[in-house]
Amino acid sequence: MGRVGGLSPPRVLLLLGATLGATAHIRPMLAPEDWWTYKDSLQGNFVPGPPFWGLVNAAWSLCAVGKWQSPVAVDTGRVLYDPFLPPLRLSTGGEKLRGTLYNTGRHVSFLPAPRPVVNVSGGPLLYSHRLSELRLLFGAQDGAGSEHQLNHRGFSAEVQLIHFNQELYGNLSAASRGPNGLAILALFVNVAGNSNPFLNRLLNRDTITRISYKHDAYFLQDLNLELLFPDSFGFITYQGSLTAPPCYETVTWILIDQPLNITSLQMHSLRLLSQNPPSQIFQSLSGNTRPLQPLAHRALRGNTDFQHPERRCRGPKYRLHVEGSSPPATS
C-alpha cells in the first residue's frame, strides 16, 4: 500500500476523518481492496469515497489528477461520425457461456469460466480483447443508476463488459497498466414491462436470491451472450479510464446507444442485495457509481451520424457479428 505525503494510509484516514468531523472508530488494518467505497463510510468506519480515492494511496493518484477519467456525460452533438468504424464482433467458439455470479460488496459481477474464451473485436479496437468480467451498476431510483449519461439523461442501470487485450498482455492486471490494454462495452438499462433475455437469466428470483450478501456466489451455465445486445444499435467510443481505483487511463470505452430493459421487480430485487455480509447491518448495493468526470478535449467518435439521423442504416454495420452465426441480411 502506498504512502501519501509521508503519511501511512491509516494516518491519512485518521486525518480525513477528523476533517470530516467523523466520530466513528477507525480501523487501522484494512485490506487494500477495502480501502475505497462509493459512499464515504461503511459500518461506522471511515472508508474513502470517490473524492478521496486519489489521496489515500499513491498508486491511485490518477483518480485525483488524471485527465482522461471516466465516466463522462456524452452529448451526441459532439460525436464525430466515423463511417470507417467496422461493426463489433463477438467470438465464443460457438459455445454457451458459463461462470459465477458474484456479490462483491460493490457490484453484481459475472465472472466467466476459463472456457469458452469470449473475445470482442472490431469497432475502434485494433486488437482482440478477452472478456474478464460482466459488471452491473444500478441506482436506488429509476433513471439514476448508470455511470455514463447520454444527452443529459441517466439510466436505471449500466452493464459493463470488461475485456483485456489478449494479443499484447497475458492477463487483466498487466493489461490495465498498459496502452491499448482494456476495452469496456457499456450497455444502458431501463425499467420497463419486459426484460432482456440475457439479463432475465441473471436476475430471475431463483438466481438473484443466491447472492443476497457480500461474497455470495452462484454458478450459472448455458448463457448466450449474444442475447445481451440489441438487434440493431450504434455505438460511441472514447478513450478513458477505469471507474474504480486505481483509475488507470488505459480503457477504450464503447457505449451502445440502444438501451436494454429489465422489469421493476428485477430492479427491486437488485436493490435488496446487501453490500455487507449477513452478520452486519443491511446496506443496499445500489448507488455503486462514480460521479461524472470532465470530458475536456477528448474526442467522441461514433458509427452513427447523429447530426443526420435519417441517414442511419439498419444493415450489418449496426448489428453484432457473432462467430458461427448466420451472416446478417443487408438493408
* pLDDT, tens digit (0-9, with 9 covering 90-100), for 115-139: 999 999 999 999 999 999 999 999 9
| Cell triple for 189 | 438499462
Q: Greater confidence, 12 or 148?
A: 148
Higher pLDDT among residues 41 and 298, named by residue: 298
- For the chain, the average pLDDT equals 88
Which CATH number characterizes residue 165's domain? 3.10.200.10
Q: With contact defined as beta carbons under 8 Å apart, do 188 and 256 qualify?
A: yes
- What residues act catalytically? 169
What 311-320 contacts at long range (C-beta under 8 Å, 24+ apart), as own/partner pairs, is 312/234, 314/232, 316/87, 317/86, 317/87, 318/87, 318/232, 318/233, 318/234, 319/87, 319/231, 319/232, 319/233, 320/87, 320/88, 320/89, 320/90, 320/226, 320/229, 320/233
pLDDT of residue 8: 39
pLDDT digits (tens, 9 = 90+) for 212-234: 999 999 999 999 999 999 999 99
Q: Which of 5-9, 33-37, 51-55, 229-233 has the lowest mean pLDDT?
A: 5-9
Q: By mean pLDDT, which of 7-16, 100-109, 280-289, 311-320 is the weakest?
A: 7-16
Looking at residue 4, what is its pLDDT?
A: 36
- Spatial distance between the Cα atoms of 85 and 83, rounded to a whole number of angstroms: 6
Phi, psi torsion values for 207, nearest 5 degrees: -90, -50
Quick one: pLDDT at residue 21? 36
Evaluate whether residue 331 is within a structural domain: no
Would you say residue 38 lies in a domain? Answer: no
Does residue 320 surpass a pLDDT of 60?
yes
Note the pLDDT of residue 31. 60
Q: Is residue 239 part of a domain?
A: yes
61's CB contacts (< 8 A; 6+ apart) are 54
At residue 12, does pLDDT exceed 70? no
Q: Which residue range is the domain that position 198 belongs to? A: 68-322
Q: Is residue 27 part of a domain?
A: no
Q: Give CA separation, 92 vs 26, 73, 89, 252, in Å.
A: 47, 32, 10, 21
Answer whether residue 55 is part of any domain: no
pTM of the model as a whole = 0.88
Q: Is 11 inside a domain boundary?
A: no
Cell 436470491 appears where? Answer: 209
User: What does the pLDDT look like over 294-303, one tens digit per residue?
Assistant: 999 999 999 9
Mean pLDDT along residues 206-215:
97
Count CA atoms closer than 13 A to 11's CA, side-chain side. Answer: 7
CB–CB of 58/4 below 8 Å? yes
Q: Quick check: is 241 in a domain?
A: yes
- What confidence category does residue 323 fall into, taking pLDDT thresholds of 50, 70 and 90? confident
Confidence of residue 10 (pLDDT cuts 50, 70, 90): very low
With a cut of 60, say whether residue 11 has pLDDT above it. no
| Structural domain count of the chain | 1
Q: Does any domain span residue 23?
A: no
Segment 290-295 shows an average pLDDT of: 98
